[in-house]
Structure 1
């Protein structure tokens, strides 16, 4: 008898306990590193390939359990690579998940046509990647286990044939296999169509005694009575000799439906036609397939429809509204202050918060409406059959009220809120992409108007978006054309009004629009990934300028340079600072690096390691905008800081609002107790100055003393006292 089990040398328990291997194929080494790191953290064995040719060779050698395959690669792309994998018997059964930034439906169809089982859109969420990998590995494991069971069944069938040919001795061996088979087996007389034998597995599945089955036709059994194909299966098998039925739903002993796969085989025994029905319970496999389909269309964390399902429902709503001459509303929702929750309390709490938000959004909508999650803290609400603006105002108001209610999560009472942008079909767009884009534009307008509100899309917003896009296009050329410069704002000691330091501030002189405010171009630099490059330039320029002042014989002062989060974490900031000091020749003690609260709370252990390396070089570190974020005494005690800077938002009300004055007094006391220097920013009038003197503040910065100025003007001011000037802020 053929040893079919040799195709699967490992036992089921051994397969489950062995380390699963995942191959990651991507021409970007950075992507390979990120994906590989996440997978190895979850105890997967990871092997990589940089292109399709390498993947084909390595897959045949390694035979991984799963392949994560990039679509856009040099040489042969992901689709062709997948097709060749499926054409090779050695790799044909390995499941392939595409990793792609393509969003067109035809590209997704091509992925499945090439043989892929799933796809992950770039940029992807780590939770989604791991969930999909886990699901497909589980499905792969289930398929292997089912294949082994099938092999055992085939061995049983072969044994039965050999047993009949070997008369009494062989018949005994076959009977043993028949009785112990995991799949249900019914033997039917080919001439009468009546059941002549049933194994224990099928008796357990049907919940009927063996004697009650004998002599019955298959279609007359309660379990198969409602299946049309069961009534004609004997004739089908007699004609074709082997028939496979994939989609039978039989009734078990309790009356519940059970998905089964049925194979009918024709053979002869003592010159009489016999039919064997192998009946396998595939409910587990069906559930796994349904889960894969569900994950392809839903957000893994919240269970809400994802971008793909939203696009489908939006197009359907548009088509219906077009036929009925109705309206469809798209509401883009972004949570306010969600990043603070994630940074301060961790992703675990952030995930629970997102799930709770999803539940509240569902409760705000009708059955015919859709709430979807696009990713991060961004949601979309789709409202069909909108009659008037009042409908939109009602839903938006209800959603915003729900988001303002506290979120009790674990031991915390969280307060977030949201901002909503709304677009309307057909007024603001004729298709899904334009409606989503318009709603997104309106959402940013809502955020710029104080958050916690909703705004309808207007043509004026689109013009603002176009201007912002133009700035984004121009900023690439601005970096290349060196249109950026540094201004410096003095930091003044209150005991003698001498300049003790300056803060370096970035300025952009646009050739057509003139001076562009930092609040507009700095977010663009971060969004476009240019902030690291420009930040390194600013650091080197500030150090060179400070050394030039010292070489000119001016009293040495410190220069403060702001660091962005991208510059701090994504660039090698330690190497950048060392290079700036080496190129300028400036003593490290005259350089101060300003960090924001949001930056320093991002990754505590990594932050401390970087800060300690910077302190070892001899530079000073300050915490900028203190009091505006989620400040923590435990963090301050751990960070090797030299100075905290009081945010200007407190100084604006310090002389008129008791609560602001109390906060500033508390910050001074905190700084003194921790041995930190303290600088007050945004000092603009004499009342603020008098308050700071009463608090024994040593250093201030603001328009009362000087606006940010070019380096030449600062050089003339350094040697002299810089007393406050009346109406300087005006």
Structure 2
């Protein structure tokens, strides 16, 4: 073992084993995982090949040398399919692995032949039986002799592997791949040379040990160097990508925060909106529970904001809302809540009080803060607020219920008139429960066909004939009976069901008119009331047109009634929507005229055909000179604007006579008929025709 050749072989065995270990480690971080593992196996096989060569050369006798030579043959045979597989792992073509499997199959036969043959698969006979002397003086068993056909087959497979490797290297060099390195090319050339020298040794033309293992050692070192460099580049790229991703995540977080802020805050007043208010109320609720304190919700509704928008413009209205928000924010206690829930509605959360008296004092302070006049461009406004209060734990057990209870109290305050304050009390709880129950049942009422239409006739004041049947929706509730629209229409608007219900009403009214036309009632039309949300729907025109087409009607056969206060909320937008409906030929009228606030300038621009005089003016027309004068003024206004006027709420002959005398065009009320079910309305029309 002191011979130089033995030391070199042992060093190569250790180096190749180390290369195998390094290749296995690099497989974790390299993008060429399979190739690195195969290369690790090849390095280990070459290490065994070198060790078997050492055992052969230092064998004590020929028999031991032949036995060691068979192991040399085994490892050299195994290297050929492994090299094929390595190149296939680096290649991206599907047939590459198929060729490596074929080579592996041939190698199995050669391995079997190697251990069956007396001298191994290489030699049919040996040319020398004694150890030979190497050029530098050492003695070693180097076998040579007549080669076998199996040896030729293996040489061809090795040559094929060399050609395959060369072709692959040329291709990747053209593609400027990272493994097309000069060191790799030199190592491959060295392996080819040392392998050829091994063939010369087998034939007896040279007396040298097998040196291909040393040639591969150079290739292994250069390959691992390149893979390590590739891994370093990959790690650097991963670090760069990771840093970029972290920056992107931070940017996304900031964008999400901005988006969440926009979702939970009001753009005009910079206060939380409904979603933000509920989040804050939940936090305040939890804190009140843990501290055993009371909390309250104060809802404030700015009275007559629509009037300010109509007379002073929306800029003044917005400025007013901003000033209200500032006053509430300044007066609110630290940690409290101030939010804007809707157009003119604000919510103030009050917390940290042990007694109701403390809450009452803070409510009074808040109301006092918003009582002084507000300065807007060009004027000073004295505004009033309707307010509702609910207290935890007296009135609700959750943040949502507390807000709902305050809303009920606010509704009661608004019913009492502008500037009133109401506190939730237990009697409203039943109303709250009924509301929740109705909301849940309302969702399926349309699918269950629980809605019906009743019809109230409009009579021509001059001829006494029916000219229009107004469709009035009713909810045929399975347990409550017939529910009036004032009970469920606000719920439908709040839950978003009004669009579907409104579409059904228009369609059902058109179908009923078509049925009456088939029965000979050809001189009448139908009228349908539109809710505030319906007028704002972008597809209202399509809904109306589709209903008319399905029923085979013309636009003039349908009249749509819009509440005056709805029109005045956004006159310009209302004009645009009404113009689109009028282009369909649909008749348009203003309902409840005189109960809200109308700008006569806008009234002149509204593309309507008629307006309905509210029943509150008709009711006392025979008793109040003021009401009579109002009706006369309304009739004169309609005549001057070229509009029809409909008087609703006519309950006796005296009212009808006075309205005819004033020149009112159409009359409607209990004096002529109450709202009638379809069959009763049909009978009413039939009776009128018989009388005529």
Q: Separation in 2 of the partners of 1:539 and 1:495? A: 29
Q: Which consecutive segments of 4 or more residues in structure 1 shift more than 6 A?
A: 95-98, 302-306
Deviation at 1:555, TM superposition (A): 4.4
**Residues 350, 553 of structure 1: CA spacing in aligned structure 2 closer, same or farther, 3 A cutoff?**
same
More helix by share: 2
Q: Counterpart of 2:462 in 1: which secondary structure?
A: coil
Q: Separation in 2 of the partners of 1:367 and 1:534? A: 44
Please name the residue that 1:127 is paired with: 267
The partner residue of 1:372 within 338, 348, 352 is 338
User: Is 2:647 the counterpart of 1:507?
Assistant: no
Q: Separation in 2 of the partners of 1:657 and 1:721? A: 33
The partner residue of 1:307 within 269, 274, 277 is 277
Deviation at 1:634, TM superposition (A): 2.0
Q: Separation in 2 of the partners of 1:362 and 1:496? A: 62
The partner residue of 1:704 within 671, 681, 689 is 671
Encode CA deviations 1:322-370: one digit per residue, 9 max, x unaligned.
2xxx54443232333335544665542222112222344467x575684
Q: Separation in 2 of the partners of 1:625 and 1:87? A: 67
Q: Separation in 2 of the partners of 1:544 and 1:622? A: 21
Please name the residue that 2:655 is paired with: 688
The partner residue of 2:489 within 486, 507, 522 is 522
**Residues 569, 124 of structure 1: CA spacing in aligned structure 2 closer, same or farther, 3 A cutoff?**
farther
Deviation at 1:379, TM superposition (A): 2.6
The partner residue of 2:499 within 507, 529, 532 is 532
Q: Separation in 2 of the partners of 1:94 and 1:344? A: 50
Deviation at 1:500, TM superposition (A): 1.6
Encode CA deviations 1:72-94: one digit per residue, 9 max, x unaligned.
xxxxxxxxxxxx9x975446545
Deviation at 1:665, TM superposition (A): 2.4
Encode CA deviations 1:485-539: one digit per residue, 9 max, x unaligned.
1111111122232212111111101001111121111111122222222212211
Q: Is the Cα–Cα contact under 8 Å of residues 497 and 721 in structure 1 kept in the other structure?
A: no
Please name the residue that 1:641 is paired with: 608
Counting only pairs closer than 5 Å after superposition, residues 75-474 of structure 1 correspond to structure 2 as 89-90=243-244, 92-93=246-247, 116-120=256-260, 127=267, 300=270, 307=277, 310-311=280-281, 314=284, 318=288, 322=292, 327-342=294-309, 345-361=312-328, 365=331, 370=336, 372-376=338-342, 377-384=344-351, 386=353, 392-393=359-360, 396=363, 400=367, 407-412=374-379, 414=381, 416-429=383-396, 435-450=402-417, 452-474=419-441
**Residues 677, 405 of structure 1: CA spacing in aligned structure 2 closer, same or farther, 3 A cutoff?**
farther
Counting only pairs closer than 5 Å after superposition, residues 480-491 of structure 1 correspond to structure 2 as 480-491=447-458
Please name the residue that 2:634 is paired with: 667
Please name the residue that 1:612 is paired with: 579
Encode CA deviations 1:238-280: one digit per residue, 9 max, x unaligned.
xxxxxxxxxxxxxxxxxxxxxxxxxxxxxxxxxxxxxxxxxxx
Q: Separation in 1 of the partners of 2:346 and 2:521? A: 56
More strand by share: 1
Q: Separation in 2 of the partners of 1:567 and 1:599? A: 10
Q: Separation in 2 of the partners of 1:387 and 1:557? A: 66
**Residues 396, 664 of structure 1: CA spacing in aligned structure 2 closer, same or farther, 3 A cutoff?**
farther
Q: Separation in 1 of the partners of 2:369 and 2:657? A: 44
Q: Is the Cα–Cα contact under 8 Å of residues 271 and 339 in structure 2 kept in the other structure?
A: no
Q: Separation in 2 of the partners of 1:127 and 1:309? A: 18
Q: Separation in 2 of the partners of 1:674 and 1:404? A: 41
Alignment gaps of 5+ in structure 1: 1-83, 99-110, 129-298, 723-730
Q: Is the Cα–Cα contact under 8 Å of residues 532 and 566 in structure 1 kept in the other structure?
A: yes
User: Is 2:523 the counterpart of 1:556?
Assistant: yes
Q: Counterpart of 2:437 in 1: which secondary structure?
A: helix
Matched residue count: 450
Q: Separation in 2 of the partners of 1:684 and 1:387? A: 56
**Residues 714, 320 of structure 1: CA spacing in aligned structure 2 closer, same or farther, 3 A cutoff?**
closer
Q: Is the Cα–Cα contact under 8 Å of residues 622 and 641 in structure 1 kept in the other structure?
A: yes
Q: Separation in 2 of the partners of 1:582 and 1:641? A: 22
Moved more, 575-584 or 438-447: 438-447
Q: Is the Cα–Cα contact under 8 Å of residues 498 and 720 in structure 1 kept in the other structure?
A: no
Q: Is the Cα–Cα contact under 8 Å of residues 273 and 340 in structure 2 kept in the other structure?
A: no
**Residues 429, 487 of structure 1: CA spacing in aligned structure 2 closer, same or farther, 3 A cutoff?**
closer
**Residues 719, 404 of structure 1: CA spacing in aligned structure 2 closer, same or farther, 3 A cutoff?**
farther
Deviation at 1:638, TM superposition (A): 1.9
Larger radius of gyration: 2
TM-score, normalised to structure 2, is: 0.57
Please name the residue that 2:119 is paired with: none
Q: Counterpart of 1:601 in 2: which secondary structure?
A: helix
Deviation at 1:671, TM superposition (A): 0.9
Q: Is the Cα–Cα contact under 8 Å of residues 330 and 381 in structure 1 kept in the other structure?
A: yes
Deviation at 1:382, TM superposition (A): 4.1
**Residues 549, 123 of structure 1: CA spacing in aligned structure 2 closer, same or farther, 3 A cutoff?**
farther
Q: Separation in 1 of the partners of 2:648 and 2:494? A: 27
Q: Is the Cα–Cα contact under 8 Å of residues 438 and 457 in structure 1 kept in the other structure?
A: yes
Q: Separation in 2 of the partners of 1:701 and 1:397? A: 47
**Residues 316, 368 of structure 1: CA spacing in aligned structure 2 closer, same or farther, 3 A cutoff?**
farther
Q: Separation in 2 of the partners of 1:413 and 1:691? A: 43
- Kindly report the root-mean-square deviation, in angstroms, between the aligned alpha carbons of the 2 structures: 3.7
The partner residue of 2:592 within 612, 622, 625 is 625
Q: Is the Cα–Cα contact under 8 Å of residues 456 and 675 in structure 2 kept in the other structure?
A: yes
Q: Separation in 1 of the partners of 2:599 and 2:589? A: 15
Q: Is the Cα–Cα contact under 8 Å of residues 468 and 524 in structure 2 kept in the other structure?
A: yes
